[in-house]
Amino acid sequence: MKTIIRLVTLLAIMNIIVSAQQKSDYAVVQRFQGITKSIAKNIDQAKTVQECAEANTSLDAVEKEFSGEKTLINQANYPDGYDKTIEQLRGKLLIRQRDLGVIESQIVRITDLEVKIRELSDQVKTLTTQNESLMAEVQQLSLNVKKLSGDLFNSATPIDSLRHMVVRLRQGLQERDALIFALTDSLFMQYDKNVGDMKDVEKQGLLGKIDRHDIIGNVKRSISDNIAFLETTQLKGNDLVTLVRQQKRFQSQWIGLSMKLTSLYLSGKSKKSEVGIVDSMLATWGDNVDGAMWRSLNMLMKEKGFTVKEFKNGDDFVASFIAFFDEQIQNVNKETEDTRYKLFTNFNESLWQTDLNAVWLPALIELHKITDAQKKDIEIKFEKWHASVMPGASWLTYILIVLGVLLVAIVGVWIFRKGPKAALKE
Amino acid sequence: MKAIFVPIYISFFILVGCSSLTLKPADFGWPVESVLSVDGQGRIQNERYSFSLNVKALLFAETHDSVNIGKVNLRMIRDMKGYYFITASQFKNVYVFEQSEGGLKLKNRILVAQNGLNEPALNQRVPYIQVVNGQNPAVLLTEDGVFEGEKK
C-alpha cells in the first residue's frame, strides 16, 4: 500500500519535473528509469492477480509513453537501454505470475479492466478541469446578467451563450457523475467477488486503488459541484426536474457503493467517517434540490396569478391545491359565472395543460413526492371545478337569441299568410 | 641516376615514419548529459564514464566563491568532437573545455543567460549542443560559441 502511494507520488513529482523541463533529454531518461524501477519493485511485491495486471498495464503505459524516445533511451539508459529494460520487466512479470499461479485468461480480463479504469480515471480528471472552468464562466456571466436584468432565467434574458453554457455544464456534471460510478464498478469488477469473500490482501489492494483514484474525493467533489450549480443557475421547470432526478440517481448509486465501502473500511475509523460525511453532503444536496423545486413551483403559481397557500413538501402541495380547487368550486368569493369561467380557462390553458399536468404531476410521482392517489384527488377536484363553471352569456349570445326569435316570428307570419290564400284559390 | 633516387627514397620513408597517426572519424558524443554534484573538496565524479575532476576553479570563475560549493549540481555533456560543455543553475555561461594532460583546458566561455540560467539542461543535438533554460527558447552551441543559424 505504502509502495503504491510512494509510486504515485514519485510519478506525480516526475510529471512536474518533466512538464517544467519539456526538452531535457536527461529528464526523459530519469523519468523512464524512475518508472521502470518502481514497476520492477511492484512486480517483486505483487501478491495478487490484480497487482500483476496492474504492473502489466503500467508496462504497456511505459511503452506507449516512451515509444518516441526509444533511440535516446537506448543510448542513454546505461547499460540496458530501452528494449532490454522492457524485455527484462516482461520476463520478471511472467515469472512472478507463474509463481503466484495466475492463469493467463485471468490476467487478460483484469488487464482489460485496468486499462478501462485508467481511461475512466483520466476522463474524470479531464471533465473535472473542464467543469471547473465552465463553472467559473457561468458564475461570472450570471453575475453580469443579474446586474443587467435583475433576474437570471426569465424568458426575456437575452443571454443565449449563458444558457448554452449552463446546458454544457449540466451535461458535464452528469457525465462526470456517471464516470465516477462506472470507474468504481470497474474497480470492484476486477475482484469479481463480494467484499466479504475477499482475502485481506485483496481488500488492501482494492482499498489502495480506491484511494489512488480518489473515489471518495471525487464523489464529494461531484456533490459540491452539483450544489454550486444549483445555487448559481436557479433553474426552473423541466430543467429543475432533471436535477432532482440526477440527485436521486446519484443517491441510489451511492447507497450501493457506501455499503461496499463500509465493509471494506471495517478497520479504519477515519475512512469510515468519510462515508458518513458523503451521506450528510448528499442529504444537503437533496434538501437543496427539493427546496429549489418547491420554491420554483410556488413561484410558478405566483407568476401565473393564482393564490395558493405556500407549500414545502408533497403533502402540503396536495393540500394547498385541493384547498384552492374547493375554494373555486364553492365560489367562496361570490364571483359571477363569467369571471369564474374565465379564471378556470386561464388556469387550464396557462398552468394545468402546460405545466402542472404535463410536467410537474408526473415528475412529483416519479420522484416519490406525491402518490398516485394524491394525483388522482387533484385531478378529480380539477374536473369538479370544470363542471361547476358554465360559460357566461355574452352580448353576441343575446344578439343571436334575438335574431333567432325574429326569424321564427317571420317564418310563422309567412306561413300564416300563405295558408288563407291557398284555400281561396281552391 | 641511382645517386639521385636513393636520397629521395630515404627521405620519403623518414617522412612517413615521422608523421602522426590519425584515427578518423570519431564520435565522442555522450547521448545525454550527466548531472554531477560537487563534493566538499570541489570534486565531481562520473561513474558511467569513469573519471573525476576538480572543478573549484570553474566555480570560482563563475561565482567568485570557492567556499559554498557543496550544493552545486554541474551539468556536463561531451560533443561528438570531444569538447566538454559544462554549466549549472544560476550560471550565466556555458564553459567549453578540451582534454589536456591530466585535466581539462578552457577552450571557450559562452554567455547564454545575462541573468543566469534557471533550469538548465544540455542536450546532444549533433553536431551542436542544445542549452535548454526552462520556458526560454533553446540555444544551440558549438565549441566556438552560439550557433546563430536555425534554432531548435
Provide the pLDDT for residue B84. Answer: 97
User: What is the spatial distance between Cα A384 and Cα A327, in angstroms, rounded to a whole number?
Assistant: 11
B127–A contact, CB cutoff 8 A = no
The closest of A201, A187, A212, A192 to A47, measured between CA atoms, is A201
User: What is the spatial distance between Cα A172 and Cα A187, in angstroms, rounded to a whole number?
Assistant: 22
Nearest Cβ partner for B31 among A20, A23, A76:
A76
B6 part of a folded domain: no
- Tens of pLDDT along chain A (426 residues) come to 444 445 444 444 444 444 444 479 999 999 999 999 999 999 999 988 888 988 999 999 999 999 999 999 999 988 889 999 999 999 999 999 888 887 778 788 888 888 899 899 999 999 999 999 988 888 888 777 777 665 555 544 546 778 888 888 989 999 999 999 999 989 888 887 788 888 888 888 888 888 889 999 999 999 999 999 888 887 777 888 888 999 999 999 999 888 888 888 776 666 778 888 999 999 999 999 999 999 889 988 888 888 889 999 999 999 999 999 998 888 877 878 888 888 899 999 988 998 898 889 999 999 889 999 999 999 999 999 998 886 655 566 667 888 888 898 888 888 887 766 655 555
The closest of A135, A118, A245 to A182, measured between CA atoms, is A118
B59 part of a folded domain: yes
The closest of B9, B10, B57, B49 to B32, measured between CA atoms, is B49
The closest of B47, B69, B48, B46 to B58, measured between CA atoms, is B69
Query: A13-47: buried (b, 16+ CB within 10 Å) or exposed (e) per residue?
Result: ebeeeeeebeebbbbbbbbbbbbbebbbebbeebe
Q: Chain B 63-122, CB below 8 Å of chain A: which residues?
A: 75, 119, 121-122
- Contact between A169 and A162 under an 8 Å Cβ cutoff? The reply is no
Helices and strands in chain A, H and E counts:
16, 0
The closest of B103, B104, B105, B85 to B95, measured between CA atoms, is B85
Provide the pLDDT for residue A144. Answer: 77
Nearest Cβ partner for A26 among B48, B121, B134:
B121
CA atoms in the 13 A half-sphere facing the CB of B117: 28
Give the amino acid at A166. V
User: What is the spatial distance between Cα A131 and Cα A170, in angstroms, rounded to a whole number?
Assistant: 9
Interface test mutation site (partner B, options A16, A19, A21, A25, max chain B beta carbons within 10 A): A25
B31 contacts in chain A (CB < 8 Å): 25, 72, 75-76
User: What is the spatial distance between Cα A93 and Cα A86, in angstroms, rounded to a whole number?
Assistant: 11
User: Pairing state of beta strands B51-54 and B73-78?
Assistant: unpaired
Locate A358 and state its grid cell.
404535463
Q: Are A20 and B119 inside 8 Å of each other by CB?
A: yes
User: What is the spatial distance between Cα A183 and Cα A343, in angstroms, rounded to a whole number?
Assistant: 54
B18 part of a folded domain: no
Q: For residue A317, give every residue at least 6 positions away whose Cβ sits within 8 Å of its Cβ, in sequence order, or none.
A: A294, A297, A311, A364, A369, A370
Dihedral of CA A278/A279/A283/A289: which sign? positive
Dihedral of CA B6/B12/B13/B18: which sign? positive
User: What is the spatial distance between Cα B126 and Cα B124, in angstroms, rounded to a whole number?
Assistant: 6
Nearest Cβ partner for B123 among A25, A75, A78:
A25
Provide the pLDDT for residue A19. Answer: 45
- Contact between A76 and A29 under an 8 Å Cβ cutoff? The reply is yes
B40 part of a folded domain: yes
B146–A contact, CB cutoff 8 A = no
The closest of B57, B49, B36, B8 to A79, measured between CA atoms, is B49
B47 contacts in chain A (CB < 8 Å): none
Interface test mutation site (partner A, options B30, B32, B35, max chain A beta carbons within 10 A): B32
Provide the pLDDT for residue A189. Answer: 87
B7 part of a folded domain: no
Provide the pLDDT for residue A123. Answer: 92
User: What is the spatial distance between Cα A160 and Cα A157, in angstroms, rounded to a whole number?
Assistant: 8
Q: Which long-range contacts (CB under 8 A, 24 or more apart) does A306-310 make?
A: A306/A347, A306/A351
User: What is the spatial distance between Cα B11 and Cα B5, in angstroms, rounded to a whole number?
Assistant: 10
State the maximum Cα–Cα separation within chain A, in Å, rounded to a whole number. 140
Provide the pLDDT for residue A420. Answer: 61
B68 part of a folded domain: yes
Domain tally for chain B?
A: 1
Provide the pLDDT for residue A9. Answer: 47
Shortest Cα distance from A70 to chain B (angstroms)? 12
- Contact between A347 and A402 under an 8 Å Cβ cutoff? The reply is no
User: What is the spatial distance between Cα A303 and Cα B105, in angstroms, rounded to a whole number?
Assistant: 89
Domain boundaries, position B30: 23-146
For the whole model, what pTM was predicted?
0.65
The closest of A66, A67, A39, A52 to A111, measured between CA atoms, is A52
What are the DSSP calls for A330-365, one per residue? HTTT---HHHHHHHHHHHIIIIIIIIIIIIIHHHHH
Q: Are B123 and A23 inside 8 Å of each other by CB?
A: yes
ipTM above 0.90, yes or no: no
B77 part of a folded domain: yes
- Whether omega before A158 lies within 30 degrees of 0, making that bond cis, reads no
- Contact between B148 and B110 under an 8 Å Cβ cutoff? The reply is no
Provide the pLDDT for residue A176. Answer: 92
B75 contacts in chain A (CB < 8 Å): 26
pLDDT tens digits along A20-73 = 444 799 999 999 999 999 999 999 999 888 889 889 999 999 999 999 999 999
Q: Are A24 and B138 inside 8 Å of each other by CB?
A: no
* Closest residue in B to A22 (Cα–Cα): B134
- Is the model's pLDDT at B141 over the cut of 90? yes
The closest of A111, A124, A2 to A49, measured between CA atoms, is A111
pLDDT tens digits along B31-75 = 999 999 999 889 999 999 999 999 999 999 998 887 778 789 999
